[in-house]
Chains A and B, each alone.
Chain A
Amino acid sequence: MARRARRVRRERPVQGAPTARDFRGDVTPDWCPGCGDFGVLNALQNAYAKLDRGNHNHLTVSGIGCSSNLPGYIRTYGMHTLHGRSLAVATGAKFANHELNVVVTGGDGDGYGIGGNHFIHTMRKNIDLLYVVMNNETYGLTVGQASPTTVIGEQTKSTPFGNLETPLNPVAMAIVAGATYVARAFSSERTQLIELMHNGMQHKGFAFIDVISPCITWKSDEIFDYWKERVQSLEDHDTSDRAAALEQAVKTGHETQLGLFYHDTSRQSLDEMEPVLENGPIAHQPLGISKEQGDAIIQKMM
């Protein structure tokens, strides 16, 4: 793959409505040809374009893993952080400048495994982020071990006799942990994914999309067919009903439901509850404190 000697990230002068092209990065993705992540990347570029807020007002944050290389392939500010820590970094960034649209991307190992603790607590706190997990049920970049979402019985490099562990149910977990926008999507169902991402970005609070993004290298050649045959959209479902959402999420059987499971517009996001942010982003505030504020502090120490 040829690589340009220099990539300069200028804002593209947008004539008319922006398109996904305007959010294309300068690096060609190094994912395996046919990877589900290409669909997710394309959907995210479309969702950014649809939001129409220019390029520099977005921050795309990821952890480590195949899918976490995504910020390099997109034309926004980006952070490619440590394995499992993207949500914590993104939370800090959101508090420093809550006017940014902060989107977090990563994989199932990054988010549900090593980052599991942050996953739970970021949802509990209802931080205003969109979190897109490209769930391929494997550790791809470390060449194919079992992940927290690998199904029981599957043979992988780390489970040569078949996986014994029950997989995590991320959608159910998100509903229980306190996420206020919870969805499942499939990387090949582009229109639905764009819609969910776009709405998730506009949702004030923690928006979570578990995206089935199949790995064609460490899974079977028929993995896309396997999923295409199983996925179906949620129908006749009240997204404001948490119990109903959970019931849908824990359903077992041949089919896998796609779409918006839960949407709670009644809870404020943490940044909305923070009076300190009423004066605008803290990153833009003057530094230090006044002599009067200092004197008041000293007075309390006397």
Chain B
Amino acid sequence: MAKYDFAIAVGGAPGQGIETAGKSISQICARYGLNVFTYTAYQSLIRGGHSFLTIRISSEPVANHGDKIDLIIALDANSVEKHLPHVSPGGALIYNSDDVKQEPERDDIQLCPISYKELTNDPDRKKIMLNVCASSVALQLVGIDLAVLEDIIVLSLLKRKGQTVVDANIAAARASYDYASEHFTPFDVQFEKQDPPLAFGSGNMLMAMGGAAAGVKFYAAYPMSPSTGILHWMAPNARDLGIIVRQCEDEISVINMVVGAAHTGARAMCATSGGGFALMSEAIGSAGMMEIPIVVVNVQRGGPSTGLPTKTEQGDLWQVLGASQGDFPKIVVSPTSIMDGFNTIPELFNLVDKFQCPGMVLTDLSLAEGHTTFVPDSINWQPKIDRGELITEQGQTDGEYLRYQITDSGISPRAVPGTPGHMHVVATDDHDEDGGLISDEFTNPHKRRDIMEKRQRKMEGIVELLPPPTFEGPENAEVTLIGWGSTHGVIGEAAQLLNEAGIATNHIHFKWLYPMDEDAVNEVLSKSAHSIIVECNYTGQFARFLRGETGFKADGQIRKYDGEPFMPHHVVDGARELLSSETELYVPYQEIVV
């Protein structure tokens, strides 16, 4: 089996079918059993503007969109102009010669002009999209059977558009494929089928699926990029899976509904991005105070304020850590890959159910909207479900019931409304063991101290269960790369590239961010060499947090805050620069601009 690592990119204006082309090519590769990772750079527009989708295809698993582009499909003249320099030497550019009159100037790549007019019999462009013709040419160049594309055309168009449109598109695909075999030189890399065929999905889809597997029965949302993909998965699947999905008037309503549903015994979840999360803050504190288990996903985009709706950042760490007034137990976790997004949801639900507190998933656009292939059997549809000390029937306690009973663990058995014999009031005002308010008339400093300490004791139990950061690579290294959440794949690849270049590198990565076990974390950090924290924000939010929790100060930092995710070479170049100079901060330059 030949090894290869190949990237196809599709550029054009939204509405030209970039996503469709990208999805078709990715799906075809997945059916071929090839590993795919995709990333789309786009703008906050429905039509017009410019999008650029990168599909990295590899014989080995891939976890980021890579450093190079071998083949670009330019669906409009603008894409030719913008992305001509981004084709790697030896690569190819497919473009529509009807629109691009002047031949692009690159003699180190293969130019593949196709005439939409000549390949199709559809002068009004009503039935056939240019993306179908261009995709056929691309598939021909990498040796994929046309039959697979035909299957995908039938699958994606038959229901919506009917047989006539399907036939026209298949004819155009064939004509384009034949044209390519007559006029262009295929790549040396030719894709070969491998087993098993793979499934293909986004981070948002996998988190939603993780929710379904975890037993989420109530999901509420207000649309907000880039978290909307979770709603778009939940809504159509809701009825089959027995999930109530509600779209609300605002994020405040979303989180409060989730609090109400969770208190009444349903596993409840919601997702948003930074701005919506800000609106949710007060109610996250209410879940802490009333001791109600909820899961909130924050898919970060570029901030501050409305910021960059379609771009990525890891800029909400401090917002999430500091969400809501006062001290209360909470858990913050940041999935390290698209597939980890699936597993994280049931893991977090078990923790929040056990410790009756809010749990927050902190991820970002690059992971949530990134797509990956995966082995279907790798999904565990029956994860462990532990609801903690939950009372749903009469007789689980004898007579007396105190909702906030003071215990050594800080955990008090939780009865849900509707259970006979356990009536109580939960309150956002502070309260004593039986829920009676100690906030106003009955303010009592001793009871306040007792109940505060009871709640906070739960943090001791949580911290014991959270795994320490992972350590990968050689024990003795020259440089240690440290990251958190979504950047695991790209930092891992950078470490591998550095090792191959003779710079011994290891990689420490954080998934569970809060609460942090100072000793356990310091033990891992003690293995680090010249340490470099890599993160996607301006102020080094995680570096400051880590220093605050552990006293650890990194030797250098690589920070990116231009909206685009790291590519492996950004980290490699940064590590080299920081090792060889006195500087402590490296900010990579983003070459591909959309």
- Interface residues, chain A, with chain B CB atoms under 8 Å away: 1, 3, 6-11, 27, 30, 54-57, 59, 61, 64, 69, 71-72, 75-82, 85, 88-97, 99-100, 117-118, 120-121, 274-277, 279, 281-291, 293-298, 301-302
Q: Are A27 and B244 in contact (CB under 8 A)?
A: no
Cβ-neighbour of A7 out of B266, B392, B434 (below 8 A):
B434
Cβ-neighbour of A287 out of B214, B239, B246 (below 8 A):
B214
B10 at the interface (CB under 8 A from A): no
Q: How many chain B residues touch A (Cβ–Cβ < 8 Å)?
A: 81
Q: A1 — which chain B residues lie within 8 A by C-beta?
A: 441
Q: B441 — which chain A residues lie within 8 A by C-beta?
A: 1, 30
B436 at the interface (CB under 8 A from A): yes
Supposing A72-B437, A117-B250 touch, asked if A89 and B239 sit within 8 A by C-beta, the answer is no
Closest to B283 in A: A82
Cβ-neighbour of B264 out of A78, A97, A302 (below 8 A):
A97
Q: A79 — which chain B residues lie within 8 A by C-beta?
A: 260, 263, 290, 425-427
Q: Are B260 and A91 in contact (CB under 8 A)?
A: yes
Q: B382 — which chain A residues lie within 8 A by C-beta?
A: 288, 291
B522 at the interface (CB under 8 A from A): no
- Interface residues, chain B, with chain A CB atoms under 8 Å away: 27, 30-31, 197-201, 205, 209, 212-215, 217-218, 220, 237-244, 246, 248-250, 252-253, 256-268, 282-283, 286, 290, 376, 379, 381-383, 385, 387, 392, 399-402, 416-429, 434-437, 440-442
Q: A27 — which chain B residues lie within 8 A by C-beta?
A: 436
Q: A279 — which chain B residues lie within 8 A by C-beta?
A: 242
Supposing A56-B420, A294-B381 touch, asked if A81 and B256 sit within 8 A by C-beta, the answer is yes
Give the distance in Å from the alpha carbon of A88 to the alpha carbon of B259 in the complex: 9
Q: Are A85 and B256 in contact (CB under 8 A)?
A: yes
Give the distance in Å from the alpha carbon of A78 to the alpha carbon of B260 in the complex: 11
Q: Are A10 and B399 in contact (CB under 8 A)?
A: yes
Task: Beyond A56-B419, A93-B263, A282-B266, list 5 extra A-B contacts (CB 8 Å).
Answer: A79-B263, A96-B261, A118-B249, A288-B214, A294-B379
Q: Are B381 and A92 in contact (CB under 8 A)?
A: no
Determine which residue in A76, A82, A293 has the highest number of CB atoms from chain B within 10 A of its CB, and name it.
Answer: A82
20 A-B contacts (beta carbon < 8 Å) = A1-B441, A3-B436, A9-B423, A11-B421, A56-B418, A72-B427, A77-B418, A80-B427, A81-B428, A88-B253, A88-B257, A92-B257, A92-B264, A95-B218, A96-B218, A282-B242, A282-B243, A282-B266, A286-B215, A287-B217
Give the distance in Å from the alpha carbon of A276 to the alpha carbon of B242 in the complex: 5
Q: Are A72 and B425 in contact (CB under 8 A)?
A: yes
Supposing A56-B418, A96-B260, A283-B217 touch, asked if A80 and B429 sit within 8 A by C-beta, the answer is yes
Q: Are A10 and B421 in contact (CB under 8 A)?
A: yes
Q: Are B214 and A283 in contact (CB under 8 A)?
A: no
Closest to A8 in B: B400
Supposing A76-B423, A89-B260, A302-B200 touch, asked if A59 and B417 sit within 8 A by C-beta, the answer is yes
Give the distance in Å from the alpha carbon of A286 to the alpha carbon of B387 in the complex: 12
Q: B425 — which chain A residues lie within 8 A by C-beta?
A: 71-72, 77-80
Q: A8 — which chain B residues lie within 8 A by C-beta?
A: 399-402, 434
CB distance from B27 to the nearest CB of A (A): 8
Q: Are A72 and B436 in contact (CB under 8 A)?
A: yes
Cβ-neighbour of B256 out of A92, A99, A100, A290 (below 8 A):
A92
Q: B259 — which chain A residues lie within 8 A by C-beta?
A: 81, 89, 92
Give the distance in Å from the alpha carbon of A76 to the alpha carbon of B256 in the complex: 21
CB distance from A140 to the nearest CB of B (A): 13
Give the distance in Å from the alpha carbon of A99 to the alpha carbon of B265 in the complex: 13
Give the distance in Å from the alpha carbon of A7 to the alpha carbon of B436 in the complex: 8
CB distance from A90 to the nearest CB of B (A): 6
Q: Are A275 and B214 in contact (CB under 8 A)?
A: no
Cβ-neighbour of A11 out of B263, B402, B420, B436 (below 8 A):
B420
Q: B436 — which chain A residues lie within 8 A by C-beta?
A: 3, 7, 27, 72
Give the distance in Å from the alpha carbon of A100 to the alpha carbon of B266 in the complex: 14
Q: A294 — which chain B residues lie within 8 A by C-beta?
A: 213, 379, 381
Q: Are B213 and A288 in contact (CB under 8 A)?
A: yes
CB distance from B347 to the nearest CB of A (A): 14
Supposing A96-B261, A282-B266 touch, asked if A78 and B426 sit within 8 A by C-beta, the answer is yes
Q: Are B283 and A85 in contact (CB under 8 A)?
A: yes
Q: Are B240 and A88 in contact (CB under 8 A)?
A: no
CB distance from A27 to the nearest CB of B (A): 6
Q: Are A9 and B440 in contact (CB under 8 A)?
A: no
Closest to B286 in A: A82
Supposing A30-B440, A100-B418 touch, asked if A288 and B428 sit within 8 A by C-beta, the answer is no
Closest to B420 in A: A56
Cβ-neighbour of A75 out of B238, B392, B418, B423 (below 8 A):
B423
Q: A3 — which chain B residues lie within 8 A by C-beta?
A: 436, 442
Give the distance in Å from the alpha carbon of A6 to the alpha carbon of B404 in the complex: 13
Q: Are B253 and A118 in contact (CB under 8 A)?
A: yes
Q: B387 — which chain A residues lie within 8 A by C-beta?
A: 287
Closest to A300 in B: B199
Q: Are B437 and A61 in contact (CB under 8 A)?
A: no
Determine which residue in A92, A121, A286 has the highest number of CB atoms from chain B within 10 A of its CB, and name it.
Answer: A92
Q: B426 — which chain A residues lie within 8 A by C-beta?
A: 78-80
